Structure 1
């Protein structure tokens, strides 16, 4: 994925965040993560040197409040934000495109998973209907218990796969936006309704 912020864009975006009000360093990093939908997770080593540079340029001031350092924009900083309003609009549009791209990828993955689940259920039903009844499967309760175990195995494998993907993503420094978890929750709810509808058949 290309960098979220092109050269010089992060500097302007930091000024725009401070134009909204004074913030401490962690709050700035969290705001960047939230507003990029998790596409950008800044480190202290990235943000603080840029804030120091803005302070050197007279665009930002900092004050120590207890254990926190609060950054605030100066009049010169506000003037730059106002003068580059068009550039800022372009940055915001690019960020919105990045968030939409991630949401589209998640929705596509969920749709693929749902199609695969429906195909598996249909294939299993067809296979069951085409096989002759064995003496041990004459009892519907025996068959049902076997299918319950198979369903539990499918669910466990899905859980393990999703859990591994999520943990790997976060371990690599990626963020996990609430929108992604909401999409997962909606997809699982849909799958649950599909299974319930099939059972009531």
Structure 2
């Protein structure tokens, strides 16, 4: 996946999130995921080192809240945000562009997986046609017709599935958010479906 934030931008964006309200680490990760419609969710290994550096620089403080650590912006942190207000506007533009790019990657992944599945179905149909050509002449035309009809029906099913899945993904992204691993999971499951279909071929 392509980089989401340019160098130093995530640090500034974390400050802006903490300026809204104190948060613990998981809440910051969730807030970032929500801002990106679920297409990006940073790891703890990405967030906590930056929080530690912000604390070291005196821009945030942390306090224990039970088993959680809550981070809060300091006056120095607010002063830095104010001084870099123009830069923060650029970061917001970066976020908007990143959301669009990541959404395109999700759509591209879905489209590529569907094309691969359709190609395999077409290959299976050609194989069936080749096998049928060895049959007696009286059954050859019937086998060819059945194969063509089956391929057409499979194409309709795939198109319906593609449109429905895209609608479902958009609904999820606009609501609860779309997990980062969705495309990978989709590829795995479609590969499994493809293997299952091809396994039924003679």
Question: What TM-score, normalized by structure 1, do the two folds share?
Answer: 0.54
Distance 1:31 1:14 in 2: 10
Cα 1:127–1:66 change in 2 (3 A) is closer
**Which sections of structure 2, spanning at least 5 residues, go unmatched?**
155-177, 191-202
Distance 1:125 1:64, change over 3 A: same
Residue pairs, 1:114-129, within 5 angstroms? 114-121=114-121, 124=125, 128=129
Partner of 2:21: 21
Q: Within 5 A, what are the aligned runs for 1:175-194?
A: 176-177=179-180, 180=183
Please give the per-residue CA displacement for 1:135-187, whole angstroms capped at 9, x wherever unaligned: 9x7999xx99xx8xxx9xxxxxxxxxxxxxxxxxxxxxxx94387589x5xxx
Q: What's the C-alpha RMSD, in Å, of the aligned pairs?
A: 4.3
Shift of 1:24: 0.9
Deviation at 1:92, TM superposition (A): 2.4
- Count of residues in Structure 1 that have an aligned counterpart in Structure 2: 153
1:84 positional shift: 1.8
* Cα distance in 2 between the residues matched to 1:122 and 1:78: 60
Q: CA deviation at 1:21?
A: 0.7
Measured against aligned partners, the alpha-carbon deviations of 1:37-77 in whole angstroms (never above 9, x if no partner) come to 55563334x43343233234332122211111111112332
Q: TM-score, normalized by length of structure 2?
A: 0.54
Counting only pairs closer than 5 Å after superposition, residues 61-80 of structure 1 correspond to structure 2 as 61-80=61-80
Q: What is the match of residue 53 of structure 1?
A: 53
Could you tell me how far 1:9 is from its partner in structure 2?
Answer: 1.8
Q: Which residue of 2 aligns with 1:94?
A: 94
Matched, 1:131 2:133: yes
- Indicate the larger mover: 125-134 or 90-99: 125-134
Counterparts in 2 of 1:17 and 1:121: CA distance versus 1, 3 Å: same
The residue that corresponds to 2:43 in the other structure is 42
How far apart are the structure 1 equivalents of 2:48 and 2:115?
46
